[in-house]
Amino acid sequence: MIFGTIFDVKRFALHDGDGLRTTLFLKGCPLHCPWCQNPEGISPKIHLCWTPSRCIHCGICVSVCPLGALSRKEPQLDIRIDFRKCDNNGLCVEECPSAALSFDGRRVSAEEIAGEILRDRDFFDVSEGGVTLSGGEPLMQPSFAAEVLRICRENGVHTAVETTVSVPRSAIDAVIDYVDLFLVDHKFADPESHKNILGADRKPIRRNLEYLLSRDARVRIRIALIPEYTATEDNLRGLGDYIRSLEPVQPSVELLNFNPMAENKYRLFGQSWPISRDAGRFSPEEIDYFADVLRKTGVERVAT
């Protein structure tokens, strides 16, 4: 039996591939995008989380922790977690009367979670949807991802993987026979920006993308439009020049509008949000402008 670590299952997703999708989020990512929409998915490890808005400040969690990993900070009596001591035994989660403490992931078997996904087949059938593996980077758990995809595919469910392809080639080979659609995120044209901002080399990503195309995989490139980062004319023109050159078939491109709601997650995890608070979603006119920048470089299919 193959086990993996997940942090969410989202049903009736509309933006993770075609039709209605059930999106399975796997933990662990090799990139460190400052604007990541799922910061809880970056670390492959499971951590204890405290939600201030749910806390009634009763102190039960502090008293039941056998390791002294929890404490309360005056004057608001906020809960502090010492991760050096916490072993995720779960006693505090079980005893918390307001569900203010939880884990940011769970271990499941491929068979168990695939069975949960297959319960949504009726919705997939009527909408021509399916299952999407996302993250994090789902291909950081290649054996688990491959088994989930295999079970779903063998039961007639359309499969997609949202990926950075910043993984070893072996991870791609583990899943490629079970994937109907690869949603490949590409963020920066400039290799120095890619390295300095995301913390990873761009070269393996492009090699893996080109490898997918050489294997006749169906690929859709997705570009997240992030203010002050990716949503610049120079960056989009550079990405367009590269996409235009891809062979044997130029993949389609999907532009993803900025989602400022992710700031709430950063506040929850006690992290700073790197995007200006004045930044909002781009207008339809701005999205059309970005799409035109790509089209002028020779990109044939751009969806917004």
CATH number of the domain enclosing 70: 3.30.70.20
- Please say if the pLDDT value at position 243 is more than 90: yes
Q: Domain containing 72: what range?
A: 48-103
- Please say if the pLDDT value at position 75 is more than 80: no
**For residue 147, what are the contacts with CB-CB under 8 A and spacing of at least 6?**
2, 110, 111, 114
Mean pLDDT, the chain, integer: 95
d(CA 151, CA 118): 9
- Please say if the pLDDT value at position 76 is more than 80: no
**Residue 94 sits in the same domain as residue 150:** no
Mean pLDDT computed over 33-58: 92
255 phi and psi angles, rounded to 5 deg: -90, 130
**Residue 244 sits in the same domain as residue 148:** yes
**Residue 91 sits in the same domain as residue 206:** no
| Residues making up the chain, counted from first to last | 304
Domain boundary among 58, 83, 103: 103
| Residue 107: band (very low, low, confident or very high) from pLDDT cuts 50, 70, 90 | very high
**Residue 78 sits in the same domain as residue 29:** no
171-177: which pairs have CB atoms within 8 A and are 24 or more residues apart?
171/139, 171/140, 171/142, 172/139, 172/208, 172/211, 172/212, 174/139, 174/142, 174/143, 174/145, 174/146, 175/139, 175/142, 175/145, 175/146, 175/149, 176/212, 176/215, 176/217
For position 278, what pLDDT does the model report?
Answer: 79
User: Is-contact 302 244, C-beta < 8 A?
Assistant: no
Q: By mean pLDDT, which of 48-62, 236-250, 288-302 is the weakest?
A: 48-62
The β-bridge relationship of strands 158-163 and 130-134 is parallel
Classify 188 as helix, strand or coil: coil
User: Is-contact 32 53, C-beta < 8 A?
Assistant: no
Retrieve residue 211's tokens: 């490898």
Retrieve residue 23's tokens: 């999106």
Q: By mean pLDDT, which of 1-10, 48-57, 234-243 is the weakest?
A: 48-57
- Please say if the pLDDT value at position 266 is more than 90: no
Mean pLDDT computed over 60-64: 96
- Nearest-CA neighbor of 40 among 224, 223, 264? 264
- Please say if the pLDDT value at position 265 is more than 90: no
- Nearest-CA neighbor of 120 among 9, 41, 16, 27? 9
Task: Please state the domain count of the chain.
Answer: 2
Q: Which helix (H) or strand (E) holds 237?
A: helix 233-244
Q: For residue range 159-170, what is the model confidence (pLDDT) as tens digits?
A: 999 999 999 999
**Residue 99 sits in the same domain as residue 120:** no
Retrieve residue 245's tokens: 């050159």
**Residue 161 sits in the same domain as residue 38:** yes
Distances (CA, A) of 290 to 82, 101, 283: 45, 42, 11
**Residue 218 sits in the same domain as residue 133:** yes
For position 36, what pLDDT does the model report?
Answer: 93
**Residue 64 sits in the same domain as residue 19:** no
Mean pLDDT computed over 130-150: 98
Q: By mean pLDDT, which of 6-15, 16-25, 75-84, 212-221 is the weakest?
A: 75-84
For position 260, what pLDDT does the model report?
Answer: 84
**Residue 70 sits in the same domain as residue 201:** no
**Residue 70 sits in the same domain as residue 216:** no
